[in-house]
């Protein structure tokens, strides 16, 4: 597979020019090692991996000697395997010499959640997340311009519209670089091995997981939600484990980047923190594999997983673009006790928002923007000017404006160059 330009690359270079330490973390097999090697080579630095037994033993035995006097930046792959001893040595070295761009650390576990690492490198580090490949990266498109969502989608209808079958093929393929190049049969084997590795190795090294068999079942159940709010009591009954264990396991799945959480949105920050987040698997291909779905099966008009998986695919594409963008944008969802729901809220630091609904239909209607329209009107009354755009993403070809700041666009406008 040819090397794909990663949209996070410019942000890594900017961070290395400004910070003593840069942490690049993300799901295993999302491309961190390839990107770290590339950045290090082009900047004339050094690359080492703690996945290598000899390197890890040397680092743990004498971390200062292991880390010092190497060409900068020194990329240390899978830093979580070095634990606190190696991270504290990094702190000691950058405090003695505070020049920017000394270390590029990568990890397959959220750096701030590793129990063996108590040192956060606060004030010295820039933390960036690398996601699996986005459709925009796979299509060779330019880095994302997320700001366009606050002006309404700018592009016309696609010149070469995707059919629903192609959307289903892409969501089942997912974005893990290694899995993308495989045929569907081999990709199923890859996903199976991937899950076994992450659960048996990464999670086992992090936590006391007493009921390992419950983890794939919890993930499978989460995949069927397609971004539904998590019901911990229902998960507890379904899996035969107590609520506290469900919550603990969800935290660990988040720590190794198998799931992403989209918190609830509210103008009241206390309410925002009090509500349950929506949960998506980090990759739609993995989600489809876990529930045994393939493009042919999903093509059935009434397949129950098609809608949730298309939502998972679309939300992940937006999340990947937001992560790689220099713009500061937070992602939320909206739901209230009266039944109003919006799949995704994009919010800027100035409080302006864009609202997104995702539907699997090829025949969208303006009625499907009903909850977004209600939210627009509510915000206009309370804080005029903050609601910028509402977008319905769908699998059809229609690209039209259907009301004041309300638009319908094919999902592919997320990655087409003029979208």
Residue-range domains of the chain with CATH: 9-129 (3.40.50.300), 135-414 (no CATH)
Report the SS3 class of residue 155. coil
List the structure tokens of 204.
């086992």
State residue 154's pLDDT score: 57
State residue 220's pLDDT score: 87
Q: Which of 235-249, 381-395, 397-411 has the lowest mean pLDDT?
A: 235-249
Map tokens 């009591």 to a residue.
233
Mean pLDDT of 290-304: 92
% of the chain beyond a pLDDT of 90: 67
Q: Is the pLDDT of residue 402 over 90?
A: yes
State residue 209's pLDDT score: 63
Higher pLDDT, 121 or 314: 314
What average pLDDT is seen over the chain? Answer: 90
State residue 143's pLDDT score: 85
Nearest to 145 by CA among 333, 17, 395, 325: 325
- Residue 149 neighbours by CB under 8 Å, 6+ apart: 346, 354, 356, 388, 389, 391
pLDDT bucket at 211, cuts 50 / 70 / 90: low
Higher pLDDT, 117 or 198: 198
Q: Is the pLDDT of residue 419 over 50?
A: no
Q: Is the pLDDT of residue 126 over 50?
A: yes
- Compute the CA torsion angle 325, 326, 327, 331 (nearest 10 deg): 50
9-41 b/e (C-beta count within 10 Å ≥ 16 → b): bebbeebbeebbbbbbbbbbbbbbbebbbbbbe
| Predicted structure pTM score | 0.93
pLDDT bucket at 410, cuts 50 / 70 / 90: very high
**Beta-strand pair 406-410/387-394:** parallel
Q: Is the pLDDT of residue 269 over 70?
A: no
Q: How far apart are CA 88 and CA 84, in angstroms?
A: 6
Mean pLDDT of 96-105: 96
Q: Is the pLDDT of residue 115 over 80?
A: no
State residue 208's pLDDT score: 62
Model pLDDT for residues 135-171, shown as the tens digit of each residue: 999 998 888 888 888 887 656 667 788 999 999 999 9
How many other β-carbons are positioned within 10 Å of the β-carbon of residue 154?
A: 13
Q: Is the pLDDT of residue 116 over 90?
A: no
Model pLDDT for residues 4-19, shown as the tens digit of each residue: 999 999 999 999 999 9
State residue 152's pLDDT score: 72
Q: Is the pLDDT of residue 120 over 90?
A: no
Q: Is the pLDDT of residue 85 over 70?
A: yes
Model pLDDT for residues 298-333, shown as the tens digit of each residue: 998 888 999 999 999 999 999 999 999 999 999 999
% of the chain beyond a pLDDT of 70: 94
Q: From residue 61, how far is each of 16, 122, 251 by CA, in Å?
A: 27, 25, 31
Q: Is the pLDDT of residue 234 over 90?
A: no
State residue 144's pLDDT score: 80
Higher pLDDT, 206 or 77: 77
Indicate the helix (H) or strand (E) that contains 40.
helix 32-42
Model pLDDT for residues 21-50, shown as the tens digit of each residue: 999 999 999 999 999 999 999 999 999 999
């Amino acid at each position: 597979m040819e090397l794909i330009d990663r949209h996070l690359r410019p942000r890594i270079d900017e961070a290395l020019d400004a910070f003593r330490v840069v942490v690049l973390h993300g799901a295993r097999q999302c491309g961190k090692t390839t990107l770290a090697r590339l950045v290090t080579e082009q900047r004339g630095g050094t690359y080492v991996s703690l996945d290598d037994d000899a390197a890890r033993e040397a680092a743990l035995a004498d971390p200062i000697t292991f880390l010092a006097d190497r060409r900068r930046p020194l990329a240390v792959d899978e830093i979580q395997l070095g634990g606190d001893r190696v991270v504290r040595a990094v702190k000691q070295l950058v405090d003695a010499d505070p020049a920017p761009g000394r270390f590029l650390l990568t990890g397959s576990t959220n750096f701030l959640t590793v129990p063996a690492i108590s040192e956060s490198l606060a004030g010295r580090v820039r933390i960036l997340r690398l996601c699996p490949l986005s459709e925009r990266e796979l299509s060779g498109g330019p880095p994302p311009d997320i700001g366009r969502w606050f002006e309404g989608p700018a592009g016309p209808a696609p010149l070469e519209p995707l059919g629903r079958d192609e959307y289903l093929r892409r969501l089942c393929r997912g974005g893990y670089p290694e899995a993308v190049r495989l045929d569907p049969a081999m990709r199923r084997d890859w996903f199976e091995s991937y899950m076994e590795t992450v659960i048996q190795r990464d999670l086992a090294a992090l936590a006391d997981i007493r009921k390992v068999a419950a983890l794939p079942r919890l993930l499978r159940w989460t995949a069927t939600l397609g971004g539904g709010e998590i019901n911990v009591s229902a998960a507890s009954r379904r899996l035969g484990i107590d609520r506290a264990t469900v919550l603990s396991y969800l935290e660990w799945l988040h720590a190794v980047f198998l799931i992403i959480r989209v918190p609830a949105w509210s103008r009241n920050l206390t309410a925002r923190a009090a509500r349950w987040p929506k949960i998506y698997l980090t990759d739609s291909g993995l989600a489809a594999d876990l529930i045994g779905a393939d493009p042919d099966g999903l093509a059935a008009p009434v397949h129950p997983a098609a809608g949730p998986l298309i939502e998972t695919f679309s939300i992940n594409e937006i999340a990947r673009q937001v992560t790689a963008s220099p713009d500061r944008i937070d992602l939320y969802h909206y739901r209230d006790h009266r039944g109003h729901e919006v799949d995704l809220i994009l919010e800027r630091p100035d409080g302006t928002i864009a609202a997104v609904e995702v539907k699997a239909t090829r025949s969208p209607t303006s009625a499907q923007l009903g909850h977004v329209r209600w939210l627009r009107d509510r915000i206009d009354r309370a804080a005029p000017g903050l609601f910028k755009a509402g977008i319905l993403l769908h699998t059809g070809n229609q690209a039209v404006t259907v009301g004041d700041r309300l638009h319908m666009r094919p999902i592919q406008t997320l990655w087409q160059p003029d979208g």
